[in-house]
Structure 1
Amino acid sequence: MEIQKKITIAFSFLFLATTSVCQAKFYNTTAGRVEGKLNVHLVAHSHDDAGWLRTFLQYYYGSQIYKNNNDQEMGGVQYTLDTAFAALLTNPNRKFTYSDMAFFLKWWEEQSDASKKVVAQLVTNGQLDFVNGGYVQHDEAAAHYVAMIDQTTVGHQFLNRSFGFTPTIGWQIDPFGHSGTQASLMTGALGFDAIYFARTDYQDRQLRSNTKDLELLWRGAKSYGSSADVFTGNFPFGDYNPPAGFMWEWGFEGEFKNREPIIDCDDCGEYNVQDRLNQFMDECDKRFNVSQGNDITGANDIMLTMGTDFTYANAFVWYKNIDKLIHYANKEGRINVFYSTPAAYTAAKHSYNQSWALKTDDFFPYADNPYSYWTGYFTTRPTSKGYVRTCTSFLQAARQLDVLGKAARAARSAVNTAQLVLRGAAGNPVSAPANGSFVAWPQPAEDATSSTEKLERAVALLQHHDAITGTAKQDVADDYHRRLAAGMAEAEGAFKEELALLASGEDTHRALKTASKWDLTNLHTAADPAQQLDHAGGRLGMCPFLNASVCHPTVEMSRLGHSILLAIYNPLGWPRTEGVRVPLDTGFTSNWTVTDGDGKEVLSQLVPVSNATLDLQNLMLQADILKNLTAAASYELAFRADAPPLGYSTYTISPAEAVDLTTRNPIAGALSSTVRSWLNGTKQENNATEPQSTLQVANKLISVTLSPQTGKLLSLRRLSDNSVTQLDSEVMWYNSSDEKGPPPSNTNHEPSGAYIFRPNGAVAGTALVPVTIVEGPVLTEIRQEFYPWASLTTRIWSDTEHIESEWTAGPLPFQDQLGHEVVIRYESNVTNGDEFYTDSNGREMLKRKLNFRPSWKLDVQQPVAGNYYPVTAAIYIQEKAGRQLAVVTDRSQGGSSLKQGQVELMVHRRIFRDDRRGVAENLNETMCGCTNCNCPGLVARGTHYLTVQGSDTAASYRRTLQQRVNDPLVLTFGKAAAPTAGAAVGTTQGLLAAGAPVSFLADEAGLPKSVHLLTLKDNGDGRVLLRLAHLYQVDEDSGEAKVATVTLNKLFKDLTFDAAEEVTLAAGKPISKINRLQWKVGRSLSSDSSGVPAVNYARRTGLSCQNGCKDALNIELQPMEIRTFLLVPKPASSASSLN
């Protein structure tokens, strides 16, 4: 319903009020803050989850309210926004605070221009206030910083474009714990003055309540020092609800039953004003008693959150009662009550001019009682977490290629223009180009949408604190995944088309070996009409199930004996060499060869897939994920591939019966693998020999020793210094606590569930493990089967210092109805004591200590769950000035070091009880995306990357590896004809051969090792959004943890800039317009703060240039700093393009 209609309804309410039995009332709501009184800031708000018990759209439209039999989750956000804004129009003193931009954008798109103007005026008036401003209220444990930034950018740019508004307050009121990166990056670097939240550990909150430190300064990252200090408010009772008895939402039950309206009809017998005021005063006193006041003026300020989940569906009910509350409270005079906003409250606190206690650690893990640590959701729904990470990284690659493709086309057009001009100078007739000898950056068409917008919105939605966490109901999770799949399909189509155009040379300077295109459309011959290849992009194909050795293009082409063209895109700004495994069918031939872009053969190896993979393929067929097994391979071709920085390379995979046209000698082809197996120390092959005491496999840099008797690893040796580290990896599992029945009065019977991890005893393992070694010159795999439902494949490539540990878990057993919480435990002799380190959303590494919190004395009733922390990207243990054992993850997981030398990561969970935190559904995932159905349990597969390094190389190796895992190579496949005798060297018949690698960076050596190209995106307004990130923290690596310099106008080959503006992290406003409140630092609450380096970055004024940017745009990056720019591309010059 449009907001004009709501205005009519609002005035209808006013008319009815004046014609009622009671005398017409006027309520004075003009009050503002005054000195010398308790000032009560009433913040009207609605917290609207972008999916939880119902899907995003069901919450928006208010549909399916009773499907989950939960009468506390009404929800109809469209009505909230309709009526809240209409109510604001009837009283200019009323205010409304909103943070959930996914809903607001949906609502905004349905409004007329007239409605939009009315709402814009409410923003200008200060009545409609936006806090946080991200697309969703993201999680802070499982979300990666890249996705956190992206989803916030969606909201901030919309607010800036629509209203010229940028939020100044963080509002993370519902996430289940809070990270240092949230403070330093997603608050400080956004230009926010404060952040407010509800959920913190019950012990921590009680202690700070006693000392009146619920409001404090938070320094979330040592690398930023005091420059990112942020005022932080922790709501006193761990929730964001209104005071008890003052929740005026119709239809809510349970804890909100006591919601009597304020009745001021003197002669009607229901008058309750004084009773309601007394109750309100009591609630204010509770909050005042834990709040710091102003000792100078006597003023005190408290903030009451007047709203909760999905409230204000009929906002007039709320505002009418709040109007009365303000009027009568102020008339009585004991306190001063008024409509306010979090920004106004923050300004009031800042006016105290006092010192505030400083906290330098984070707020993980979160527990709401001694037996309930919310550490299970760090791992819950592992395949969903992996899918989100995959989509996030691909989104970055697709955006990059979109910009680089446009730049390449503009440069190519400039070359063509110059050639026309030169021909004209020679006397040939030519038409003058419309814009002289320059080709401008393409301007967006009106209402045009980007090919990545759907994926961008889906990835943003999935950062919500009930999405990436895995804590929504199953059908909601399914809806999330459908959105991701739709976004990926659209973005992949554009990506494949762009890469094919670029690599074919149609729009680049690349010298072509043939003008033909890669094409999958003619893959099948007339003799084989039944087989059809799914190739959505038309030219190149992609394979979402590569980790299950399922790839339609490669398996189909190899089955028919066609040559395969592999195009690899590298989204990182560094050159890289990595292992590639291509699924093949060996029915046509088992002898294949790989050649690079120069026609040189690349060493390759044919590897049989594991039994675990074959089982997974069959389960995918059973669950109807695969319609048949025609795309499932039983072999993979493994080789090491090179990719230039921010560029692509191509390889051809052909049947090796062909002749090498360069040497006229037979091609060697892929080498086969040697396979050896042991069961309980007994070799299983026909040529079995006496069991050995140890086995050793090695590459050029490391060797791994294992025991054939137990089937387990023993040690890892670095050949560079001959250092040996004892090392074992093992799949183990915890039995979940499964207390049945209603919640007991004693909380020590809490069960595990989607949120909570509570093991019922010690971890279980297995003593003897069947092991198979698949060995060859490119790749060696150690395959261990720990249970029928769990295995590990340890991969050692020929030239890496790390090992890959691919874990497969599932279907987890259900017949015994015991919850299984599966972990990978790495055991070593690294003497780390009781300390270990975990990352903060992929940024800084934070020191953790067993049974310890830096800010308070911890009482641990759950020694396992209470020592679990979020591991978004990496965890490590290290010796003092000695070895570091690090594990990099491909998705968010929970992890710890529960004993010296250990690293433990939880990889999968299946639980047959609900943990009573609102989902009301068991965590019982299946391959079919349903619960309690006749379908196999979910199989999860992922990879850990383990490295042992000395102190001098540990940080550098881990940081680089972490980035490579987070931004993997993008593989695409097309058909290529094999070389034949008589053809020109390096060409194919009718299809493009692999050509020389192409980098889009001006310096093909790549960016500095410490610098990451975080974002390169067409901003949709004729500008490019560019982010550069420093990857090292201040105390991490002596060689790299220092200032790095990048020259923006010498960064790319075909892209320079006419204008530049440095903006906030979320590109909401220029840096030059940010003026954050400065706060006085008081005593330290964190016991380890003395170890924090004294780093204080000067406030940047922001780079800015217009009309030509004649300088080179040199920028500096401090350790951990991220800088964001909006850049106007310079039209491609024909003169420069020919030079």
Structure 2
Amino acid sequence: MILYVLLTVLIQIVCLIYASASSTKCGYESCHPVKDGYVNVHLIPHSHDDVGWVKTVDQFFYGTQSQIYAAGVIYIYDNVLKSVQKNKDRRFIYVESAFFWKWWQLQDAPERAALQNLVNNGQIQFTGGGWSMNDEAATNYQSIIDQMAWGLRKLNESFGDCGRPKMGWQIDPFGHSSEMASIFAQLGFDGVILGRIDYEDKETRVKNKSMEMVWRGSNSLGRKSDIFTSVLFNHYDAPAGFCFDVLCSDEALVDDVNSPEYNIDVKAEDFIFNHVQKAEKSFQTNNIIIPMGRDFAYQQAEGWFQNIDRLIQYVNQKETFNNTKYHLLYSTPSCYAAAVQKESKGILFSPLKTDDFFPYATDAYSFWTGFYTSRPTLKRFERIGNNFLQVCKQLYTITHMSSNQEHQLDVLRDAMGVMQHHDAITGTEKEVVAYDYARMLHLGIEHCENLSAHALSSLTDGKSQNFHSCLLTNISQCQFTENLNQFVITVYNPLSRPVRKYVRLPVTVEEYTVTDPNGEIVKSQIVRISNGVKKIIGRKSKTNLELVFEATNVPPLGFTSYYVKAGSGSQVTPEDVDFYTHFNNIHGTGIDINPSTGLVSQIQMNNVKLNLDQRFWYYNGNNAWTDEFSTKASGAYIFRPSSEVPLEPISETASFEIYRGQIVTEIHQTFNDYLTQVVRIYENELYIEFDWVVGPINIDGSFGKEVITRFSTPLKTNGTFYTDSNGRQLMKRIRNFRPTWNLTVKEAESSNYYPVTSKILIRDEERDVEFAVLTDRAEGGSSLIDGQIELMILRNTISDDQLGVGEALIELAYDRPIVARGSHYIIVGPMTNSTTTVSSIEHEVSTQKLLDSWIFLSEVSEYSFQDYRASHTMQFSGLQRSLPNNIHILTLEPWTQGNYLLRLEHNFEPDLDPILSRSVTIDLEDLFTTFDIEEIHETTLGGNQWLEENERLAFKTTFQSDVLEFDRQSEESDKYIIRLDPMQIRTFIICIKPKL
């Protein structure tokens, strides 16, 4: 009892220390003053350091493999630190926290103190601050928030308030999402700087002086998601002729009038007339931003800084060029935003932006829409990594694991942060780098398996028990289940409400008995593994069978264990020799197969019958060798069909086999030697699964192949379809149309492709019918013809698109072209005229697929079921009560100094569902089963600043009808009562007291 009291007091002390942390004054107070009546040119010294691309993360950091790219980030940090200290006027921004943290860990106390001083006086500022500069197309919002928060946490730990970024710096991602803008606003940022937008969009903005804008990231959140946004005039490189580093060959500036090399006058005029004056015409105030950097710049930092010093001194002394006064200053993105806000009084004349920046094109024949699909197996692995990271963080917190174990959790946090980088999950890296990303992710999962096994052991029997994951079930291989006759399956549910999970595991015996915690026999089924899966290259399993059963009512943040033993029970599902062509489950979800073609012909779901034709095609990727219009090829970044024969069907028919069962009915289709599919209808599900296997694709020939699946319906869609934004809000897309400029269409297919992180759908307003396809990873997709949806699932190209990666997109595994396996989930139903809207079903399915229940396996050869149940807990819930279906615990993880991070999310948009789109109030008191919340304090989304201390720069446009105010969430009367409005995410630091 004394120990318990001491522990409680210690927790309260730690909470008090954390909550009373004081802030150091820095930031805007450290900005160099601007001059009224001058054009103020904000020079931004920076280095864009890709966390992997043509070299691996470590190769870029340490500078090895210089024959590939002569870059070493460690030298950038070392040399910038020395150079900035030499002149108090100099400024520099750091961006990617992954590289910062690697460098920081290697430094001694003097170097750390020097950087801290520079951060405290504002000479070095962190901008962006995420673990990486994340992609915005293929990333899921949960992983974006995680990687941003992870980077911001490291900066907060190292520097306190002065290390907290105030701006986003998304200068290299290939297009920009609305959800990312919303995330930046919720992080408390004052603005974001963009580098890449569509070439026609940019031409329009330059002409209309609208390179600065207020961007509303979420119509659901309204003005709370508004953020100041500025686009760089000429990408993120220093102006031509003004790069002074080891990777550059530009002439140095010489200001010695006695030297025959004197050139500062000519160079300064070149800078003003050919760069600054062109840029200033496109901006709304007398403050313009000029980046002074490039990829992996400032390895020779002192040389670059000296040249900028000379340029600033000369221009500021001369002041006037062609009757205009110019003032050059060292600056940062946040200082630039503050100057714009001050001069404009926070009002911009450009219209409020409410759409996104997709797709991105650099010319009429170069739409960067191929990377939405490139390296699909890595994209799927990343999604699995996020799934397990949330499971691992929850189990760590629920079981109060010791802080000295957190380093194992950090390995997966690091890997997932790196995976969000815009040359990682995008698939726009060299093949060897992709292998390294997969290695890092696998290592992180292994470390989290150790933590999860320890946590589950403490929850089940308090002893050391093995809990294993089978990561190769994607190829129906699991050595554990294939070699044991009895084992325990523990199904962990990371969602905040009970779920059901169809468990599928490869087995070798044709009969099994599955027993639940109550001793009841669970209905199970043995199904045959499809021929396509059995032929996957690298699969070492010899089994042809999978065990399937439904785990029902798995508790929230908890688990249910099932005892499995070979013997009487389920049996192999026989082939249906009668060849039924219509199949449905108990909910009326059904499918028809055309017996003459073997293709799907009709589906029925939610009282809607719909004709459906689903088949596979491939685009011939343009190789640019003979194209009469352009030299641009399909590659890792660009999707560009051949102008000769753009699209071809893979097969007009499919051979098929049918297997009926009490749990699942399957139609196994074979289209050709490299493409098969299984169409599944589960007994209790409201979707139909299309499980496809594609590859290896023959890459011999004149073109690469880019495989799509196409769903054709009779729905009248008027050129309109919808895609998700990073797995969250829906974005309306209209074929051959952009909301903010007149689109020139010369590439009909690629110009209409959009990123599909989790969902794409079409609607027939007259029939009140919605048809949606949900994905298990990011893919590119479109609706190129009314009533159709297509998704690209695998692409191999035989050309490089000349955008930097330096090799064709030819993925190999076991020295053969890669094989990809994945699933699409089809949902059809009424939009409005129903008690259960189709949107609510889509939300439920997509949520359960994003955070799927995780399967753990344990060997129990020494236990009978009775013995195991007597000595082990077989069911556990981390919550005392379930949360509503529209509320989700987005994050539950250890944070700093004995604190934990809790995020709550409302995941419905307004007007989407008559019930689930309403605001919700929940009570956190006594919510968790293993701990009580002692203290709770709300923060910004990143968990690095108290919400009440966040004061953002206010911007609005002359076109806005509402007044832009950054109002706070009203204080609830009880600290445990939390209100969530539609699409709102609220973040809290909590201190907990373990329950006895």
Fold match (TM-score > 0.5):
yes
Q: Per-residue CA shift, 1:516-549, capped at 9, x if unaligned?
A: x796xxxxxxxxxxxxxxxxxxx12211011211
SS in 1 for 2:236: coil
Change (3 A) 1:108 1:996: closer
Question: Which residue of 2 is the match for residue 279 of structure 1?
Answer: 270
How far is the alpha carbon of 1:500 from its aligned partner?
A: 2.9
Question: Which residue of 1 is the match for residue 133 of structure 2?
Answer: 137
Q: Per-residue CA shift, 1:406-438, capped at 9, x if unaligned?
A: 2xxxxxxxxxxxxxxxxxxxxxxxxxxxxxxxx
SS in 2 for 1:456: helix
- Aligned with 2:546 (options 628, 633, 636): 636
Q: How many angstroms apart in 1 are the aligned matches of 2:870 and 2:48?
A: 55
Tell me if the contact between 1:1042 and 1:1119 (Cα under 8 Å) persists in the aligned partners: yes
Query: What is the percent sequence identity of the aligned residues?
Result: 35
SS in 1 for 2:678: strand
1:388 lines up with 2:315 in the alignment: no
Tell me if the contact between 1:54 and 1:473 (Cα under 8 Å) persists in the aligned partners: yes
1:556 lines up with 2:483 in the alignment: yes
Tell me if the contact between 2:585 and 2:682 (Cα under 8 Å) persists in the aligned partners: no
Query: What are the equivalent positions in structure 2 for 1:547-696 lying under 5 Å apart?
Result: 547-557=474-484, 562-586=485-509, 590-616=510-536, 619-621=537-539, 629=540, 631-642=541-552, 643-657=554-568, 669-676=569-576, 694-696=581-583
SS in 1 for 2:42: strand
Tell me if the contact between 1:370 and 1:748 (Cα under 8 Å) persists in the aligned partners: no
1:491 lines up with 2:448 in the alignment: yes
Q: Which amino acid aligns with 1:597?
A: P
Tell me if the contact between 2:811 and 2:818 (Cα under 8 Å) persists in the aligned partners: yes
Q: How many angstroms apart in 2 are the aligned matches of 1:701 and 1:503?
A: 39
How far is the alpha carbon of 1:1098 from its aligned partner?
A: 6.2
1:918 lines up with 2:804 in the alignment: yes
Tell me if the contact between 1:224 and 1:1097 (Cα under 8 Å) persists in the aligned partners: no
Question: Which residue of 1 is the match for residue 157 of structure 2?
Answer: 161
How far is the alpha carbon of 1:1131 from its aligned partner?
A: 4.6
SS in 2 for 1:941: strand
Q: How many angstroms apart in 2 are the aligned matches of 1:45 and 1:655?
A: 62
How far is the alpha carbon of 1:1102 from its aligned partner?
A: 7.7
1:468 lines up with 2:461 in the alignment: no
Change (3 A) 1:64 1:872: same
Q: How many angstroms apart in 2 are the aligned matches of 1:553 and 1:33?
A: 67
Query: What are the equivalent positions in structure 2 for 1:157-556 lying under 5 Å apart?
Result: 157-164=153-160, 165-185=163-183, 187-237=184-234, 239-252=235-248, 257=249, 259-282=250-273, 283-293=275-285, 300-334=286-320, 335-351=326-342, 352-353=344-345, 354-357=347-350, 358-406=352-400, 444-445=403-404, 449-504=406-461, 506=462, 539-556=466-483
Q: Which amino acid aligns with 1:235?
A: L
- Aligned with 1:964 (options 822, 845, 848): 848
Q: Per-residue CA shift, 1:575-617, capped at 9, x if unaligned?
A: 111211121112xxx221211111111111111111111101x
How far is the alpha carbon of 1:496 from its aligned partner?
A: 2.1
SS in 2 for 1:196: strand
Change (3 A) 1:708 1:77: same
Q: How many angstroms apart in 2 are the aligned matches of 1:838 and 1:1056?
A: 40
Question: Which residue of 1 is the match for residue 778 of structure 2?
Answer: 892
1:1008 lines up with 2:908 in the alignment: no
Tell me if the contact between 1:811 and 1:937 (Cα under 8 Å) persists in the aligned partners: yes
Tell me if the contact between 1:710 and 1:769 (Cα under 8 Å) persists in the aligned partners: yes
SS in 2 for 1:823: strand
SS in 2 for 1:764: strand
The normalised TM-score by structure 1 is 0.81
Q: Which amino acid aligns with 1:914?
A: D
- Aligned with 1:1123 (options 981, 986, 996): 986
1:938 lines up with 2:814 in the alignment: no
Q: How many angstroms apart in 2 are the aligned matches of 1:64 and 1:1102?
A: 55
How far is the alpha carbon of 1:955 from its aligned partner?
A: 1.2
- CA-atom RMSD in angstroms: 2.1
Change (3 A) 1:134 1:272: same
Q: Which amino acid aligns with 1:139?
A: D
Q: Which amino acid aligns with 1:171?
A: W
Query: What are the equivalent positions in structure 2 for 1:687-1086 lying under 5 Å apart?
Result: 694-718=581-605, 721=607, 723-740=608-625, 748-760=630-642, 761-765=645-649, 766-880=651-765, 882-928=768-814, 935-952=815-832, 953-976=837-860, 987-988=866-867, 996-1003=874-881, 1006-1083=882-959
Q: Which amino acid aligns with 1:227?
A: K
Q: How many angstroms apart in 1 are the aligned matches of 2:938 and 2:296?
A: 37
Tell me if the contact between 1:695 and 1:708 (Cα under 8 Å) persists in the aligned partners: no
Question: Which residue of 1 is the match for residue 25 of structure 2?
Answer: none
Tell me if the contact between 1:811 and 1:938 (Cα under 8 Å) persists in the aligned partners: yes
Q: How many angstroms apart in 1 are the aligned matches of 2:817 and 2:830?
A: 41
Tell me if the contact between 1:1072 and 1:1101 (Cα under 8 Å) persists in the aligned partners: no
How far is the alpha carbon of 1:655 from its aligned partner?
A: 2.6
Q: Per-residue CA shift, 1:1063-1104, capped at 9, x if unaligned?
A: 1111111111111111122238xxxxx9xxx89896225869
Tell me if the contact between 1:225 and 1:1096 (Cα under 8 Å) persists in the aligned partners: no
Q: How many angstroms apart in 1 are the aligned matches of 2:269 and 2:964?
A: 48
Tell me if the contact between 1:873 and 1:888 (Cα under 8 Å) persists in the aligned partners: yes
Bigger mean CA deviation after superposition, 810-819 or 387-396: 810-819
Tell me if the contact between 2:722 and 2:733 (Cα under 8 Å) persists in the aligned partners: yes
Q: Per-residue CA shift, 1:1014-1069, capped at 9, x if unaligned?
A: 11101142011111111111232121112111222232122212211111111111
SS in 2 for 1:102: helix
Tell me if the contact between 2:31 and 2:122 (Cα under 8 Å) persists in the aligned partners: no
SS in 2 for 1:482: helix
Q: Which amino acid aligns with 2:875?
A: P
Question: Which residue of 2 is the match for residue 123 of structure 1?
Answer: 119
How far is the alpha carbon of 1:161 from its aligned partner?
A: 1.5
How far is the alpha carbon of 1:956 from its aligned partner?
A: 0.7
Q: Per-residue CA shift, 1:979-1010, capped at 9, x if unaligned?
A: 87xxxxx513x78688553211011xx11111
SS in 1 for 2:48: coil
Q: How many angstroms apart in 1 are the aligned matches of 2:155 and 2:516?
A: 48
Q: Which amino acid aligns with 1:223?
A: S
Tell me if the contact between 2:623 and 2:702 (Cα under 8 Å) persists in the aligned partners: no
SS in 2 for 1:960: helix
How far is the alpha carbon of 1:748 from its aligned partner?
A: 2.4
Change (3 A) 1:813 1:555: same
Q: Per-residue CA shift, 1:909-945, capped at 9, x if unaligned?
A: 11111001011101000113xxxxxx11100001111
Q: How many angstroms apart in 2 are the aligned matches of 1:710 and 1:1054?
A: 56
Q: Which amino acid aligns with 2:663?
A: V
How far is the alpha carbon of 1:404 from its aligned partner?
A: 0.8
Aligned length: 947
Tell me if the contact between 1:976 and 1:991 (Cα under 8 Å) persists in the aligned partners: no
Q: Per-residue CA shift, 1:118-139, capped at 9, x if unaligned?
A: 1111011110011001011000
Q: How many angstroms apart in 1 are the aligned matches of 2:47 and 2:62?
A: 15
Tell me if the contact between 1:1062 and 1:1103 (Cα under 8 Å) persists in the aligned partners: no
Query: What are the equivalent positions in structure 2 for 1:29-68 lying under 5 Å apart?
Result: 32-66=33-67, 68=68
The normalised TM-score by structure 2 is 0.92
Q: How many angstroms apart in 2 are the aligned matches of 1:1096 and 1:1038?
A: 28
Q: Which amino acid aligns with 1:788?
A: D
Q: How many angstroms apart in 1 are the aligned matches of 2:632 and 2:555?
A: 53
